[in-house]
Amino acid sequence: MRQPIIAGNWKMNGSRKSIADLMSGLKNGVAEVGDVEMVVSPPSIYIAEVAALSSGTSIALSAQDLSDATSGPYTGEIAGSMLKDFGCKYVIVGHSERRNVRGEGDDLIADKFKAAQDAGLTPILCIGELLEERESGVTEEVCARQIDAVINKYGTSVLSNSVVAYEPVWAIGTGKTATPEQAQKVHAFIRDHIAKKDQTVADGLRIQYGGSMNAGNAADLLSQPDIDGGLIGGASLKAEDFLAIGKAAGNL
């Protein structure tokens, strides 16, 4: 049985005031969500504050990125140990905005994945195809390549302490959600691809869908057999919407 995981990626949004308001809304409603792991991922400068604001609740903390290095002369970067020190449980690696806007490649992302685990964090590995890749019929190849970058370097067993987020890039922040059938097809492919290497790891792996998931479409997406949660951008910035997605996961 895979516990659903609903994670909010706040990206580079918020202020001390708006984050305090958001956390207050989440704290008021999170107990009603049910057996779902609720996670928030603030901009790193607010992690300490959100750790304090979420203390005593079931809300888990994630970072949006980390360095592949452990310490030293890496100006502007944050090590996994530092995120752990401030209470993070998860860290997103390979978000499409890191891959496609900041130019991070599969190899660096694999190293960030491993650096997260070495620091005691659980990586949320984002994968997914661009619109032109979907249109040219290579969605599965792209997802396989992005997963295999981790497997080929660090083995299949490392996936047992991770979450995978399938996020079709064309659906992120666009309001164009994948249909439940489109998403399920790729999720099933991802699980099957991993199962060919290790069935137990594949069976236990939580695979989130991300890409314009909201309070209105969450239930249909989350009811698919291989969709174990969501990675939510825009809709995670409003407590009511994020909690509604959590409840949709809890009511399945």
Size of the site for ligand PEP (CB under 6 A): 13
- How near is the Cβ of 72 to ligand PEP at its closest, in Å? 30
C-beta closer to ligand PEP: residue 156 or 177: 177
Among residue numbers 158 through 177, which ones bind ligand PEP (CB under 6 A)?
167, 172-173
CB nearer to ligand PEP: pick between 62 and 212: 212
Cβ closer to ligand PEP: 156 or 212?
212
Using the structure block, give the residue that is written with the tokens 């969500």: 33
Backbone angles phi, psi at 157, to 5 degrees: -65, -25
> Which residue lies nearer to ligand PEP by CB, 126 or 149?
126
- What is the signed CA dihedral for 166, 227, 191, 41, rounded to 10 degrees? 40
The alpha carbon of 124 is separated from its chain's Cα centroid by a whole number of angstroms, namely: 5
193 in catalytic set: no
Short-list 225, 156, 147, CA closest to 185:
225
How many whole angstroms from its chain centre is CA 184? 17
By CB under 6 A, is residue 233 in contact with ligand PEP?
yes
Of the residues 37, 95, 104, 129, only one is catalytic, namely 95
Asked if 249 contacts 215 with a C-beta cutoff of 8 angstroms, the reply is: no
Residues 211, 217, 221, 239: which binds ligand PEP (CB under 6 A)? 211
What is the identity of the amino acid at 83? L
In angstroms, the CA 54 to CA 38 distance is 11
Residues that bind ligand PEP (CB under 6 A): 9, 167, 172-173, 210-213, 231-235
Active-site residue list: 95, 167
